[in-house]
Amino acid sequence: MKAHKIADSLFCVYADIASDELFEGIWPIPRGVSLNSYLVKGEKTALIDLIRDWSGAPRQIEEALAEAGASFESVDYLILNHLEPDHTGWLGEFRRRNPGAEIIATAKGINLVKSFYKEERGLKVVKDGDKLDLGGRELVFFETPNIHWPETMMTYDSASGTLFSCDGFGSFGALGGRVFDDEFSAEEHSFYEREGLRYYANIVSSFSAFVERGIQKLEALDIKCVAPSHGIVWRKNPRAIIERYLKYAGYSRGKTEPSIAVIWGSMYGNTKQGLDAVIRGIEAEGAPYTVNRVPDEDVSYALANAFQSRALVLAMPTYEYAMFPPMAYVLDIFRRKHIFDKTVLRIGSWGWVGGAKKEYEAAIEALRWESVPSMEWTGAPTIQELLVLEERGKELARSIR
């Protein structure tokens, strides 16, 4: 792996992860993810964020460090913006190689260094506004709690105006040899935008209030480059990713896109027949919509589409006197990820006595959703029922304008 020069004596050194292992043990990353570290050299050398031993990451970073004239052994300060193991899992091995480096984190971060890695030596607590003099170069720390772990901070390099923003402004998607926003085509940007939304919806969405607070706190800084711990480094247009994250944070307060996220599951196609009628209605009104089938597609994708959309269609049959189980899982994830303030149409088929309705109504109590009248039918939908379903699709589409 190469070292990517951001400014004088400042490099992005990163590892591309290609792995079948789910991110955080839950989210699929079919197109990978990058783990970004940053090397800052004054008279002393700082490394910002580490890696876990995943998909050859230590070797990749080691090669990049070597290209920048550094090594794990030559690091004087290891700055840990947050302690999640994707950025710290390799800390024990780092320590074995470099017993002298000072490990820097917030007070809560240092506690996690101790509890996760049983490390007691060479630890330094920093707090909001503290500075680290590297000799001819200065780093400043800003506590940005709960984006997304409680101990999170961001680090700012005053000389270059680079903000090392930890998971904030991050994205899924491996980088493949380029890191800067101006090195990717429009098509590649739209890929990272989709993966960035999925990353936000999956990992950050429950913490949007803290994202807004963090961004507000950094407002006074002259940010010339946003350097997150996953994904693109934004040197040409750092405002673009900040504005995008503000937009995503707004989704958590109901400032969503006028679109419809359709999420469905079906055993034998009866529910799908009804759903097709709803979709005809949505299309007749020209409303934008997305479709995800569960469990065929991972909930990660449905979550991203639901997060940004003003309205949802949830289509599922009754299964053993209750909801089709994959949809129960979807609703559970939605509650955990604060997918609130939506207008929702639920539809589905049942065979003998139903049951999805009852469980559904209990499941959505905590979700602050506005339900439009739901529609159930037995077996295959009749022509009359299909007409009603189409009309429901139209009404939903009109409601989001």
Return residues touching ligand FMN (CB under 6 A): 266-271, 317-321, 349-355, 379
DSSP bridge partners of 233:
180
**Should residue 86 be labelled a site residue for Fe ion when binding is judged by CB under 5 A?**
yes
- Cα gap 271→257, rounded to integer Å: 26
Using CA atoms, how far residue 397 sits from 116, 210, 242, 258, in Å, is 49, 32, 30, 9
User: Half-sphere exposure (CA, 13 Å, Cβ side) for 176?
Assistant: 8
Nearer to Fe ion, 16 or 167 (CB): 167
Contact 307, 194 (CB under 8 A): no
Give the pairing of strands 370-371 and 343-350. Answer: parallel
How many beta carbons lie within 10 A of that of residue 370, not counting itself? 10
Interacting partner of 350 out of Fe ion, ligand FMN, none (Cβ under 5 to 8 A depending on kind):
ligand FMN
CB of 173 to Fe ion, least distance (A): 13
CB of 285 to ligand FMN, least distance (A): 24
Interacting partner of 219 out of ligand FMN, Fe ion, none (Cβ under 5 to 8 A depending on kind):
none
Measured from each CB, the residue nearest to Fe ion is 84
- Cα gap 390→106, rounded to integer Å: 55
Interacting partner of 318 out of ligand FMN, Fe ion, none (Cβ under 5 to 8 A depending on kind):
ligand FMN
CB of 364 to ligand FMN, least distance (A): 20
Interacting partner of 167 out of ligand FMN, Fe ion, none (Cβ under 5 to 8 A depending on kind):
Fe ion
Nearer to Fe ion, 60 or 309 (CB): 60
Identify which range of 124-132, 167-175, 295-303, 354-362 contacts Fe ion by CB under 5 A. 167-175
Using CA atoms, how far residue 300 sits from 99, 272, 289, 306, in Å, is 40, 21, 17, 10
- Cα gap 145→62, rounded to integer Å: 30
> 49, 84, 181, 390: which one contacts Fe ion (CB under 5 A)?
84
CB of 332 to ligand FMN, least distance (A): 20
Residue 33 has which token pair? Answer: 């993810």
Contact 82, 151 (CB under 8 A): yes
CB of 322 to ligand FMN, least distance (A): 7
CB of 355 to ligand FMN, least distance (A): 5
Q: Is the dihedral of CA 271, 274, 279, 285 positive or negative?
A: negative
In three-state secondary structure terms, 295 is coil
**Should residue 151 be labelled a site residue for Fe ion when binding is judged by CB under 5 A?**
no
Measured from each CB, the residue nearest to ligand FMN is 351
Nearer to Fe ion, 86 or 376 (CB): 86
Identify which range of 160-168, 232-240, 307-315, 375-383 contacts Fe ion by CB under 5 A. 160-168
CB of 192 to Fe ion, least distance (A): 16
Name the residue with tokens 């503000």. 246
Nearer to ligand FMN, 65 or 278 (CB): 278
Interacting partner of 281 out of ligand FMN, Fe ion, none (Cβ under 5 to 8 A depending on kind):
none
Interacting partner of 325 out of Fe ion, ligand FMN, none (Cβ under 5 to 8 A depending on kind):
none
Contact 222, 161 (CB under 8 A): yes
- Cα gap 254→165, rounded to integer Å: 25
**Should residue 143 be labelled a site residue for Fe ion when binding is judged by CB under 5 A?**
no
CB of 325 to ligand FMN, least distance (A): 10
Nearer to ligand FMN, 209 or 267 (CB): 267
CB of 305 to ligand FMN, least distance (A): 21
Dihedral in degrees, nearest 10, Cα atoms 132, 133, 137, 142? 20
Interacting partner of 86 out of Fe ion, ligand FMN, none (Cβ under 5 to 8 A depending on kind):
Fe ion
Which among 152, 119, 163 has a CA at the least distance from the CA of 6? 163
**Should residue 167 be labelled a site residue for Fe ion when binding is judged by CB under 5 A?**
yes
Residue 344 has which token pair? Answer: 């929702």
Going by C-beta distance under 8 Å and a sequence separation of 6 or more, which residues neighbour residue 370? 342, 343, 344
Nearer to ligand FMN, 276 or 285 (CB): 276
Contact residues toward Fe ion (CB under 5 A) are 84, 86, 167
